[in-house]
Amino acid sequence: MNPRNNHRLILFPHPFQGHMNSMIQLGRILHAQGFSITIIHTNFNAPDPSSHPHFAFRSIPDGIDQSKASTLGIGNLLALLDVQCAVPFEECLREMVSSQGGDAAPIACLISDSLFSFTCSVAQSLKVHALVMRTGGAAYLYVATILPVLKEKGYIPVLGSRSEEAVKEFPPLLVKDIPAGLDPQKPEAIFRILDNLIAVIKDSSGVIINTFEELEHSDLESLREVLSVPFFPIGPSHKFCVTSPSSSSQAEDRNCISWLDKQLPKSVIYVSFGSLAATSEAEMLEIALGLADSEQPFLWVVRSGSVCDPEWLEKSPSHFLKALEGRGKIVKWAPQKEVLAHPAVGAFWTHSGWNSTLESISEGVPMLCMPRFADQGVNARYVSDVWRIGVHLNGGLERENIARAIKRMLAEREGEEIRERALVLKEKASVSVRQGGPSYQALDALVSHILSFK
Ligand code: UDP
């Protein structure tokens, strides 16, 4: 018998879509390594157990009303989940620890999302080893560790007049890329979240992070030095399980794949702003007009809840939609990884969420970046200025700027050069997860680390 079959890992994902996807991926990877997997999850945005027959599931109450969650705002929802999940999580883990010894494999460790602040202390009180899963990139995490310095130097709170200034302590970051800079109204809320994040990581026995050495080597090294815990960069984690079914909790509209099949190679701009970012009705109209003016075919994800009025798409005058449909395709949720891997897709207009960024890098797709909040400013800056595999949408969300930027990406020499660099990085990502590659080795090291827990 594989010795790992006698080890159970308890995974506790954060319910936001990008976080849930990453943790489920991690579960698949570790299951393939011979571990038994139990997922403790919130009722809010619960995963579908039937899609993951090899895992055991335990749900905990979180007190979140699903229908009202989108009205709370992301910061409030995060804080509420953190407060309301602590006791139910502790009860669930305590019950699992005390019922060990039956048929189920003994618990080797807990792996929880780094956004929950209480998990490591609960695990320690129950004598369970705890690792954390960081679903974002290393650069943003490093920025989180130097926020006190940035405050001291006067970059925060971010003032509009200084937003284009360079952060000398962290080139090539601009002041507006600092996490608080994207939500200047509520800098304290984000500092609290980031302070908790750093504290939980310091409390843990190690960090599993969805990035790869070649992409973020120097930031990973800085993190190892500053936080003094082992880091296991195993990204792009979705590339370890190429044949795995979707972990999305939303219904994917697969018609867009047959639509893509009919488009010319590298001609389509894929547009998606992730699972959380909201867009106003006025912005949606500007996006629509910019897409039409670009004269390039587009595939646009307008998920329910992405506009202030979730019924916006249905209510839009049908002639407006028809005009757009002539040029492109609108869906409520796309099989994004498959879309990015499709030969017809030439560029990705993204909010620069970390999963989207890494999925785009994995397929060599150049990005047009429109960061909105949290880590997205840092991610976008790395895309445009460090890896140089995309550009920012400069000049505001206006139809002329949009059309111009899309043409620049899809129809001009500059776009070709960006694509060439993106393809080089794609190859590095691919090598990383192959046998002997850096992420493959990090996974080996992670498995040994877990097996060393007594
Ligand atoms: N996604 C998807 N279909 C869509 C839009 C998004 O499958 O139509 C997935 C995408 O592949 C990614 C996740 O949703 O894995 C979004 O995560 P990201 O970190 O990019 O952004 P967030 O949603 O956390 O802002």
What averages of pLDDT result for each successive group of 10 residues across the chain (454 residues)? Answer: 76 93 94 95 93 94 81 81 95 93 84 96 96 96 91 77 86 86 63 90 97 97 96 95 60 92 96 87 87 92 74 66 76 95 98 96 98 92 97 90 95 93 98 96 97 88
Asked whether residue 71 falls in the same domain as residue 43, the answer is: yes
Q: Look at residue 17 in the predicted model and tell me its pLDDT.
A: 87
Q: How far is the CA of 75 from the centre of ligand 1 (A)?
A: 18
The domain that holds 216 is classified in CATH as: 3.40.50.2000
For the Cβ of 379 lying below 6 angstroms from any atom of ligand 1, the answer is no
Q: Look at residue 242 in the predicted model and tell me its pLDDT.
A: 46
For the Cβ of 333 lying below 6 angstroms from any atom of ligand 1, the answer is yes
- Relative to the CA of 16, which ligand 1 atom is closest? 24
Asked whether residue 117 falls in the same domain as residue 137, the answer is: yes
Asked whether residue 229 falls in the same domain as residue 297, the answer is: no
Considering its fold, how many domains does the chain have in total? 2
The answer as to whether 2 is a domain residue is no
Asked whether residue 18 falls in the same domain as residue 106, the answer is: yes
Q: Look at residue 204 in the predicted model and tell me its pLDDT.
A: 97
178 touches 151 (CB < 8 A) = no
The string over 90-129, giving b where at least 16 C-beta atoms fall within 10 Å of a residue's C-beta and e elsewhere, is: bebbeebbeeeeeeebebbbbbbbbbbbbbbebbeebebb
Complex prediction ipTM: 0.99
Asked whether residue 395 falls in the same domain as residue 363, the answer is: yes
Asked whether residue 174 falls in the same domain as residue 74, the answer is: yes
For the Cβ of 301 lying below 6 angstroms from any atom of ligand 1, the answer is yes
Asked whether residue 74 falls in the same domain as residue 157, the answer is: yes
Q: Look at residue 169 in the predicted model and tell me its pLDDT.
A: 87
Q: Look at residue 147 in the predicted model and tell me its pLDDT.
A: 87
- Relative to the CA of 18, which ligand 1 atom is closest? 17
User: Which residue's CA is minimally distant from atom 2 of ligand 1?
Assistant: 336
Q: How far is the CA of 19 from the centre of ligand 1 (A)?
A: 9
User: Which residue's CA is minimally distant from atom 17 of ligand 1?
Assistant: 18
Q: Look at residue 255 in the predicted model and tell me its pLDDT.
A: 92
Asked whether residue 409 falls in the same domain as residue 353, the answer is: yes
Which residue of 348, 355, 361, 373 sits with most ligand 1 atoms within 8 Å of its CB, as the best mutation to test the pocket? 355
The answer as to whether 153 is a domain residue is yes
- SS3 (DSSP) at 112: strand
The answer as to whether 3 is a domain residue is no
Q: Which domain holds residue 157?
A: 8-246+432-451
The answer as to whether 1 is a domain residue is no
Give bridge partners of residue 330 from the DSSP assignment.
300
For the Cβ of 334 lying below 6 angstroms from any atom of ligand 1, the answer is yes
- Relative to the CA of 331, which ligand 1 atom is closest? 8
The answer as to whether 202 is a domain residue is yes
The answer as to whether 52 is a domain residue is yes
The answer as to whether 241 is a domain residue is yes
- Scanning 262-398, the segments in alpha helix (DSSP H) are 281-294, 312-315, 318-327, 336-341, 354-363, 376-381
Asked whether residue 443 falls in the same domain as residue 391, the answer is: no
In order, the DSSP letters of 172-193 are: T-BGGGSGGGGSTT-HHHHHHH
Q: Look at residue 10 in the predicted model and tell me its pLDDT.
A: 98
Asked whether residue 345 falls in the same domain as residue 445, the answer is: no
The answer as to whether 368 is a domain residue is yes
120 touches 140 (CB < 8 A) = no
Instruction: Indicate the DSSP class of residue 264.
Output: P
For residue 276, report the phi and psi dihedrals to the nearest 5 degrees: -120, -40
Asked whether residue 440 falls in the same domain as residue 410, the answer is: no
Amino acid at the residue 313? L
Asked whether residue 124 falls in the same domain as residue 230, the answer is: yes
